[in-house]
Structure 1
Amino acid sequence: MFSLKLGTVKIESEGEQILVGNIKIEDFSEDFHVPLSYWDRNEYLSQWTRGLEVIFSGGKKSAFITAMYNPTTANFIFWWVIYRVGNDVYIQNHVLFVDELKEPFDENNFIRYVPERETITEDGDPISEWKVNIDDIGQALLTIKSFEKNNE
């Protein structure tokens, strides 16, 4: 089971307008804040659709961004990176440190910044990741596309 949702009610948090999103992966569920200072709701939904479509159509790695800031001034971007291995999809929560990139971040070519999948940290600890089936990604994709279409 995998779902990705984005609310419609803007709220103020720590001095910025946000929406509340939610990710569910099997029995894991987490709300997250989605800042609206750079992207609006539709831009997030569109990026999520593109990110999931890459994996669903056979790509090996992709991502969906949950906190996008202006990449020319941002220190970081919050995103979930996803890796496809056969019909299994592995999902990891990451922070992309923009100042560590060798080039300016190109939001239209976000996949180039997705690292190769690692399962162990440099200290030898396992990296938290969740596994779902590719069919779960397909279902989530249909749901997100319906949000885009209906502009809910």
Structure 2
Amino acid sequence: MRDADGTMPRTAGRCSTNESGGSVHMSRISATPSGGAFAIEVVSTGTGKIVVGDFTETFPMDLTFWDAEHYEQSWAKALRRLEEADVATSCLVASITDPKTANYISCWPLYRIQGTVFVQNSLIILNELNKVFDPERPWLSTDPREIVDEDGNKISEWRTGIENVREFRAASG
């Protein structure tokens, strides 16, 4: 994945939370913010695409645990969660294998603060969770929003408006 300026981002360590009584470990990737449109979709077998403002990224989707339809259902549920409150955390699973044997889950954490939705790219490190990962509620393993990692590096973040998320949900059914 490349930043908006074409450079390669740096992986930025782990962070922890006291949410749900424990520490959650995620690796985050650094980049540049933007605003505007929003979309996430399956574009071909095993490939997804996310659009946040002027940022567009294609990503591999493992199809051994979930099929494309399950990813889409999970994304719809995660986006609906953002509409439940003015401040909300959710998570779009980008790629998942069986959590019982996997090392990590690739995801796009979503953080709604009033009318703005911040999107980051992360890995949920499964063997460092304090509880079993729930693939139907991945936001339970998502850390609170941070903009700088433990080493002082800026964490990748793109932004869009909640109205763009609502428009996407309405258009995608």
Determine if the TM-score, normalized by the shorter chain, exceeds 0.5: yes
C-alpha separation between the residues in 1 aligned to 2:158 and 2:83? 17
Query: Which structure is higher in strand share?
Result: 1
**2:122 is aligned with 1:86:** no
Greater than 4 Å deviation, 4+ residue runs: none
Q: Say how many residue pairs are matched.
A: 136
CA shift, 1:125, in A, is 1.7
**Are the aligned partners of 2:109 and 2:119 in contact in 1 as well (CA < 8 Å)?**
yes
Query: Which structure is higher in helix share?
Result: 1
Partner of 1:141: 169
Q: Which has the higher contact order (CA 8 A, sep 6+)?
A: 2
For residue 91 of structure 1, what is the amino acid of its counterpart?
A: V
CA shift, 1:106, in A, is 1.4
Partner of 2:39: 3
Match of 1:73 among 101, 104, 111: 101
Partner of 2:33: none
Unmatched segments (≥5 aa) in structure 2: 1-36
Partner of 1:25: 52
C-alpha separation between the residues in 1 aligned to 2:132 and 2:77? 20
C-alpha separation between the residues in 2 aligned to 1:79 and 1:57? 20
For residues 11-55 of structure 1, the C-alpha deviation after alignment (integer angstroms, 9 at most, x for no partner) is: xxxxxxxx2111111111111111100001111000000000000
Q: Percent identity?
A: 29
C-alpha separation between the residues in 2 aligned to 1:62 and 1:135? 16
Match of 1:51 among 71, 78, 87: 78
